Every structure is written in structure tokens, then in C-alpha cells.
Structure 1
Amino acid sequence: MGAPKQRLTPLAMAILELLHERPMHPYEITQIMRYRRVDYRVKLRPGSLYHTVERLDGQGFIEVVDTQRQGRRPERTVYGMTALGRDIFASQAQEMIATPADEYPEYPVALSALSELTPDEGLSRLKMRVMNLKVKIAADEVVIKQVTSDNLPPLYWIDYAYSHHQRKAELAFTQQLIADLESGRMPWPDEPERQLSIVKDENHDQAG
């Protein structure tokens, strides 16, 4: 039996993706990721990035190709991708594109808990989510307008376009959910019991 296949984390994939362009030092990688909003799809913290770079180096997927020093700043190590790194990146990219992954976003978990809230609580939070989604979608559109005006090939920011469309779909779903709840097309599970309780209370008061 062969050795188990090594699985790259999303951050490791993002680092190798950038190193396809040219060798870079970790600080430069961090700055480019923030400029390109890679942190929208990958959890990016400087400490974790440096740790991931060290792990990729130890695994033989990247290697030191240069060191740089500017003035009194600390020496910076420049890394380039190895042939092994290119192979593992290409292999995993193909697998990730072809195979839907089991992912665990928070929103479905929150929706499953919606029935445990009162109608007022649930609707107010859903409406707050709609506002937050609209803000994010507007910010997306600013970025998309910029990269479009810069004539950046769409395939270079296709991940951003996907996230944008995903947010718009979530907005449409949430707005429809609010409309269904407010109209009564989707009653709260305990709504009949709640209404019955109100009627009984009213009858009791009238009898008293």
C-alpha cells in the first residue's frame, strides 16, 4: 500500500496558487492576499500563514530560492514552488473542482434553530441578515466593477464571482423566507397551539 495522500488546506492551496506567478516571501504573500480579497474565502492570519509556509517547505512543496534584506529590516526568505508542489496543487485542484465537498456553513444550522425562536425574534434577525447581505453584495459589486475596468481576465477572479452569486442567492432565499413567514404561507410550528392558547385565555377572561 502506498503512503496516504497528503491533503492541502485551503490556505496552503491559496499560497501555492500565488507562487505559480513568481517566488515570494511570506509578507508579500499576505499583502497580495489581502489586496485581492483572498481572505473572503480563506481564513487568513499572519501566524497561520507563516506556519503553513513552513509546513509546505518541510513537505517539499516549496523551497527557499532567495533571501532579501532592505535597510535595517529583518531578512526575508523568498520561497518558490517545487515540481512536487505543482503536482500536488494540480491534483488537488482537479479533485476539488470535480467533487462537491461536504461543507458545514453556519446558516443552515441557524435556520434549523429558527423554529425555537418567537416569530418576532426570528423575523427581526432574518431582516438584519438581509441588511448585512445587501452591504456585502454592494461591496462585491465595487470590487467586480474595479477588476472589470482593469480588464482582469474573469477566470482570475471567478472565485470572487462565485461568492457574489452565492450571496445573492442567499439574499433571495432569505427575502422569500421572510415573505412566507409574514404572510402565513409558512406558519411557525407551534403557531396553532399558540393561537389556541390565546383563544382559551380570552374565553377564560370573558367567563370570569
Structure 2
Amino acid sequence: MMAATGKSKRPVGNPLALAVLSCLWERPMYPYEMTTSMRERGKEDSIRLNFGSLYAVIKSLEKHGLIAVAQTEREGNRPERVVYEITDAGRREADEWLRELIDTPVKEYPAIETGLSLIAMLPPAVAADLLADRAERLGAEIAEREQLLAGEASGVPELFMVEFHFKQAMLAAERAFVIDLAARVRERAIGGIEMWEGLHQLLDQGLSMDDIQKRVSAGDFGREVADLLRQ
């Protein structure tokens, strides 16, 4: 099993490249056909699909010998269409890449994680309100996706909806987390709440972060926070 320390260096690292290889793994296609196929299968939900980027990815895959021109087609006065096919090297690359993606956890940087890491910049009450707003939006997104699952996607075999169900599980887990966090902030049950509240009370009094940091270094911050909370 591969170590969970990071992903291997790929000749073409854009995830869209793997989607292209996947399309050509099925059969030769021209670029517009690849885009249509990805969209019809809902791959935009898990892969950033941009038609302009697609051509750059295709050229890079061709440059590295992972795909090749199979033939060119022309219908009437329409522009010539280039049909691509996957090479043996491309098949090996797709297989290794997909195995790695499924097997090996990697560090990702979701926006919410960045926000949570800096949440102390906001007053506790504001943070709690924003978390509650986020939970509401997540709930709406989950409900919308459940309607899709019960409607037009109801007849799609689970095999072809695995990433959809994964996303649903991640959304539900995130919603549960932010609801719990918002509640603990409001109930003053989160560790460090006194310092958090005290920090913003001192800021409201006109102290700068530089002043507060100096007091922290001098050991006065904890006493000042305790004095504020007794008022």
C-alpha cells in the first residue's frame, strides 16, 4: 500500500486529464464529444470542466504520448475534427493514477477549513450566526441533491453515482459539524471561549492587536480577560 504522504508527480496533473483518459479508454473521441460525455454523466460535480482548459489538457496529454491522433474528420463545410485515442502509455497512466486516487489519502485545502482555522478573528456571536447560515445552506443543497436522486437520477445504477453519494455524505457530515460548533459557541461550551470573548472585548475598547499581543507576552492578558468577564 502506498504511503499517505502525498501524490506522485504526474506528467499531466490536472484531474481533467484523467477524465479525458477515461473517455478515450472507452473509445476514440473528438474534444466536443468528450465534453458532452462528461456533462451527460454529471462529472462536473466532481471534476472542474472547462472547454478552454480541455484543449490545453489534450495537447499536453498528446505531448507526453498518453493520447494520439486517431484520425481527422470533416463533414461538409464544417471545420476539421480531430479524433483522439488513448495509447498504451496512457492506459498505464490512467490505471496508476486512478489506483493512487482511491488508495492514498492526500492533504486537501477546502475553503471551510481555512475559515475555521481563522475563526477567532470574528466575534463569537458573529461566528455562531455565520455557522448557522452555512448549516442552512448546506441543508438546502442536500435537499436539492436528494430531489435529483429521487427524480431524474433515480434509475441510474449506484455504480455510476458513487461520487454523488460520497458528496452527499461529506455535505451531511459538514452540516452536522457546523451545527454542533455553532451551538457550542452560543452555549459558551467551546474550549477557549473566555479568551475569545475577551480578545474582542479588548478590541472593542480600542486596543490594537499589537497592544494585545504585547500584553499576552507580558502575561497580563489572562488577568484582563478575567476582569472583563467579572464586569
Return the TM-score normalized by structure 1. Answer: 0.82
- Note the alpha carbon deviations across 1:87-109, whole angstroms, 9 max, x for none: 11101111221111121112111
Alignment map for 1:45-60 (pairs within 5 Å):
45-60=50-65
Tell me which of 152, 158, 161 is aligned to 1:157. Answer: 161
Partner amino acid, structure 1, of 2:16: L
Structure 1 stretch 189-198 or stretch 111-120: which is displaced more? 189-198
Tell me which of 182, 187, 190 is aligned to 1:183. Answer: 187
SS of 1:64's partner is strand
Are 1:24 and 2:29 counterparts?
yes
Partner amino acid, structure 1, of 2:147: V
Identify the residue that residue 114 of structure 1 maps to in structure 2.
119
Are 1:76 and 2:84 counterparts?
no
Partner amino acid, structure 2, of 1:55: S
The answer for unaligned runs of 5 or more in structure 2 is 1-8, 202-224
Q: Is the 8 A contact 1:115 1:188 kept in 2?
A: no
Q: Is the 8 A contact 2:35 2:51 kept in 1?
A: yes
Q: Distance in 2 between matches of 1:64 and 1:71?
A: 21
Shift of 1:65: 1.7
Q: Is the 8 A contact 1:67 1:75 kept in 2?
A: yes
Tell me which of 44, 50, 67 is aligned to 1:39. Answer: 44
Identify the residue that residue 62 of structure 1 maps to in structure 2.
67
- Note the alpha carbon deviations across 1:43-76, whole angstroms, 9 max, x for none: 2221111100111111111112233334543222
SS of 1:104's partner is coil
Return the TM-score normalized by structure 2. Answer: 0.75
Q: Distance in 2 between matches of 1:47 and 1:163?
A: 26
